[in-house]
Amino acid sequence: MSSGQATAAPSPWAVHRPGTRDVALMAVAVVGVSFSGPLTALVTTSFLAIAFWRNAAGAALLLPVLLGRERATLTGLRARDLTTSVVAGLFLAAHFAAWLPSLSMTTVAASTALVTTTPIWTALAARVSGVRLPAQVWAGLALAVVGAALIAGVDVAVSLEALAGDGLALLGAICAGGYMLAGARARTRLATSAYSVVCYSTCAAVLAVAAWVTTTPLAGFSARDWWLIAAITVCAQILGHTLLNLVLSSVGPTVVGLAVLLEVPGALLVALVLLGQTPPLLALPGMVAVVAGVALVIRAGRPQTPVEPVG
Query: HEC string of the chain?
Result: CCCCCCCCCCCCCCCEECCHHHHHHHHHHHHHHHCHHHHHHHCCCCHHHHHHHHHHHHHHHHHHHHHCCCHHHHCCCCHHHHHHHHHHHHHHHHHHHHHHHHCCCCCHHHHHHHHCCHHHHHHHHHHHCCCCCCHHHHHHHHHHHHHHHHHHCCCCCCCHHHHHHHHHHHHHHHHHHHHHHHHHHHCCCCCHHHHHHHHHHHHHHHHHHHHHHCCCCCCCCCHHHHHHHHHHHHHHHHHHHHHHHHHHHHHCHHHHHHHHHCHHHHHHHHHHHHCCCCCCCCHHHHHHHHHHHHHHHHHHCEECCCCCCCC
CA 149 to chain CA mean position, Å: 18
Phi then psi dihedrals of residue 38, to 5 deg: -60, -40
Query: What does the pLDDT look like over 155-202, one tens digit per residue?
Result: 555 677 777 888 888 898 889 889 988 988 888 888 888 999 999 999
Query: What does the pLDDT look like over 223-264, one tens digit per residue?
Result: 999 999 999 999 989 998 899 888 887 877 777 777 777 776
Query: What does the pLDDT look like over 116-140, one tens digit per residue?
Result: 778 888 888 877 877 777 777 778 7
Mean pLDDT of the 69-92 span? 85
Report pLDDT for 277.
Answer: 64
Type of residue numbered 5: Q
Q: At residue 6, does pLDDT exceed 50?
A: no
Q: At residue 25, does pLDDT exceed 50?
A: yes
Type of residue numbered 176: A
**Domain boundaries defined on the chain:** 16-302
Q: At residue 270, does pLDDT exceed 60?
A: yes
More confident residue, 132 or 96: 96
Mean pLDDT of the 80-103 span? 88
Report pLDDT for 7.
Answer: 46
Dist CA 245 CA 70 (whole Å): 15
Q: At residue 33, does pLDDT exceed 50?
A: yes
| Mean pLDDT across the chain | 79
Report pLDDT for 241.
Answer: 86
More confident residue, 238 or 302: 238
Mean pLDDT of the 26-41 span? 82
User: Of 50-64, 133-147, 268-282, where does mean pLDDT reach its minimum?
Assistant: 268-282
Q: At residue 62, does pLDDT exceed 90?
A: yes
Report pLDDT for 283.
Answer: 65
| pTM listed for this prediction | 0.79
